[in-house]
Amino acid sequence: MSNQRPTFFSFVALCFIVFSNVALVTSKSTIEPCSNSDSCNALLGYTLYTDLKVAEVASLFQVDPIAVLTANAIDISYPDVENHILPSRLFLKIPIQCSCVEGFENPFHQVQNSPTGHASSIADSIYAGLVSADQIREVNSIADPSVLDVGENLVVPLPCTCFNGTDNGLPAVYLSYVVKPVDTLAGIAASYSTTITDLMNVNAMGTSSIKDGDILAVPLSACASNFPKYALDYGLIVPNGSYAITASHCVQCSCGPGSRNLYCMPSSLAVSCSSLQCKSSNLKLGNVTVQQSSAGCNVTSCAYGGYANGTIIASLSSSLEPRCPGPQQFPTLVAPPTYVPDSAFAPAPSPQSDGSTTTVPKTSTVPSTGSLPGFGPAGAPLGSMSEASTLVNSVSILPAALMTCLLIKLISPVSL
């Protein structure tokens, strides 16, 4: 992707060459050009259509159940948390890998012999409006989307976007958010600590008018990693107020409220993991020691540096700071949600718990040995649309120099 932010939404992972007269199917979201090297962490805003286990939600999107919980700051230390039943109508942020891959990745949705075996039901109910029946029909070359054979495999494209993992030059993760009847652009902006102008710029909107079913790309302020390219979790970026699980469930990283600094420590699932300790030191990941002196504050820390070849990279660093850092600020953890109160039906609701919360993630390792417990829009939008842009725009508006790889996100849920 170029440094200039494209005014398109994106999908992952169908790539093809576009010619100027190719017509695109009408849909509720927009697209952005990509190159085969583009890849990033992204989020889908998903509302459960029925009670589902955490593992069932994860299977629907082919993601790690623990990753779903950490992305929503839900405490993973509860027993058998992957089989916890989440309530219908709960809003979750689903973490996905948004990437541009040439050709299909062979993911499918298995249609069942039930009333939901129609493209419209799959799109509007099971996937909560993140995809349209027309998109399912187009991608799967279905003549009549209301008639699907039992056991038929379907490709289900879902929206995501990267924009270089930045928003206005700062680290960001993009959430694909389905607009609800009660939403306003101002309300969505306030809920996600951004501005109306930024949302209009990102989504190529001519006005602030939105309608039920529109899909918006919402930038979330985040903490970015600086892992080497050979690390499996290279490019890890975590939105403010949430967590991410990595290194085969051995390490949990967080981005505290208003922070830009990624903080990683052993997770509560770290039972049989490779060394979580820095070499030539008794400090473990996330441990920090401080010592005040006349020259300032001597800070020594053991930091996580990525996961490669089955090995956790840990690095020891020392520095002299003008003042000693304060305690590490963690995002507030919530208990696994059991119900959704009526108040949750406001713009961009968050997971609701049963009222019990914890403010510091649990860890199975020795706590810190130090005194700290851890540590008009820019560029006019294309067209003069009054709502979020849609795929009715001709592909010919894309830059001619691009071979134009259009991102299509292929998600493969298991049988429901």
Residue with tokens 């949750």: 344
pTM above 0.85, yes or no: no
Are 377 and 200 within 8 A, CB to CB? yes
Does 259 fall in a domain? yes
Whether residue 249 sits in one domain with residue 207: no
Whether residue 215 sits in one domain with residue 239: no
Cα angle value 14/16/17 (rounded, 5°): 160
> CA quadruple 161, 380, 378, 404: dihedral positive or negative?
positive
Whether residue 310 sits in one domain with residue 274: yes
Q: How much of the chain exceeds pLDDT 90, in percent?
A: 51
Whether residue 271 sits in one domain with residue 164: no
Q: Cα separation of 275 and 202, whole Å?
A: 42
Q: Which of 268, 291, 321 is the last residue of a domain?
A: 321
For the segment 7-59, what is each residue's pLDDT rounded down to a tens digit? 344 444 332 222 222 222 222 334 455 555 667 899 999 999 999 999 999 99
Are 35 and 1 within 8 A, CB to CB? yes
Does 125 fall in a domain? no
Whether residue 63 sits in one domain with residue 174: yes
Whether residue 204 sits in one domain with residue 83: yes
Does 384 fall in a domain? no
- Give me the domain span that covers residue 264: 229-321
> CA quadruple 183, 186, 187, 188: dihedral positive or negative?
positive
- The number of domains in the chain is 2
Residue 214 has, within 13 A of its CA and on its CB side, a CA count of: 26
Whether residue 298 sits in one domain with residue 167: no
For the segment 137-186, what is each residue's pLDDT rounded down to a tens digit? 888 888 877 777 777 778 888 888 888 899 999 999 999 999 999 999 99
Q: Which amino acid is at 168?
A: N
Are 248 and 233 within 8 A, CB to CB? no
The encoded tokens of residue 225 equal 């990693």
Which of these ranges, 1-10, 298-307, 326-335, has the smallest mean pLDDT? 1-10
Secondary structure of residue 314 in the 3-state scheme: strand
Output DSSP code: residue 163: G
Q: Cα separation of 49 and 67, whole Å?
A: 20
Residue 316: CB atoms within 10 Å: 15
pLDDT at 64 over 80: yes
Residues in the chain: 416
Whether residue 279 sits in one domain with residue 299: yes
For the segment 237-282, what is each residue's pLDDT rounded down to a tens digit? 999 999 999 999 999 999 998 889 999 999 999 888 878 999 989 9
For the segment 327-377, what is each residue's pLDDT rounded down to a tens digit? 889 999 999 999 998 755 544 444 544 444 445 666 543 333 333 333 323
- Average pLDDT score over the chain: 75
Does 88 fall in a domain? yes
Q: Which of 262, 291, 321 is the last residue of a domain?
A: 321
- Pick the more confident residue, 8 or 117: 117
Whether residue 207 sits in one domain with residue 241: no
Does 114 fall in a domain? no
Q: Tell me what the mean pLDDT of segment 91-103 comes to.
A: 76
**Ranges assigned E (strand) in 3-159:** 33-34, 39-47, 52-53, 85-86, 91-99, 109-110, 153-154, 156-158
Whether residue 92 sits in one domain with residue 198: yes
Does 331 fall in a domain? no
**DSSP for 275-290, written as a single string:** --B-TTSSPBTT-EEE
Does 281 fall in a domain? yes
Does 145 fall in a domain? no
Whether residue 233 sits in one domain with residue 216: no
pLDDT of residue 158: 84
Are 302 and 314 within 8 A, CB to CB? yes
Whether residue 216 sits in one domain with residue 69: yes
CATH number at residue 176: 3.10.350.10
Q: Which of 321, 351, 382 is the last residue of a domain?
A: 321
